[in-house]
Amino acid sequence: MKEKIDIDSFKKRTTTQQFNQIVNMYSQDLYWVIRPIVKSHEDTDDVLQNTFIKIYQNLPRFRFESKLFSWMYRIATNEALSYLKSKQRKYNYQNINEVALDSLVSDIYYDGNEMMQQLEKAIVKLPPKQQEIFRLKYFNEMKYEEMSEMLGTSVGGLKASFHLATKKIKTELNLL
């Protein structure tokens, strides 16, 4: 269970101690938001550090109209996608999926079996939004209502995207 953060004191002024509390409470959660996107442990650590820099810089402007984690989730996701795009340009990959697949294959910390690698390869072939929705529902077992708040998408839209993603993955894995 996450420790409660005193939101009223954040609204007045964010201290280093309060920010350290955020880092301690959410590092692991944000790591697992980023890792499935960039695939590599080292890259994930770099993106996580950049994510916390952005959070620190923008925390004074956070209006607390949404949950803190929802806001941090969007920052982490955007940082991860920006990282992949910059890597794509740097190494002349044709698309982001190649970057992600290459990172997965070369990551010494990845311990997934052959079936898990096939699933990951199928997932990265999905459009980014479907990847995100599939991961949240399948791996994180997140409820549609929670995803709706976090992603700003209707529950019906999320269900449709998850259904399409699942169907594409089954087709890719020759399970249909």
Q: What is the pLDDT of residues 20-59, one digit of tens each?
A: 889 999 999 999 999 988 888 888 999 999 999 999 888 8
Does 117 lie in the same domain as 38?
Answer: no
How far is it, in rounded angstroms, from Cα 175 to Cα 169?
8
pLDDT digits (tens, 9 = 90+) for 107-165: 666 666 777 878 888 998 888 889 999 999 998 899 999 999 888 899 999 999 999 99
The reported pLDDT for the residue numbered 99 is: 67
7: Cβ contacts below 8 Å, ≥ 6 apart = 64, 68
Its domain, for residue 154, covers: 112-176
Does 86 lie in the same domain as 25?
Answer: yes
Total domains in the fold of the chain: 2
Does 132 lie in the same domain as 58?
Answer: no
The reported pLDDT for the residue numbered 24 is: 93
pLDDT of 11 over the 60 cut: no
Which of these three, 79, 111, 143, is where a domain ends? Answer: 111
The reported pLDDT for the residue numbered 130 is: 92
The reported pLDDT for the residue numbered 149 is: 87
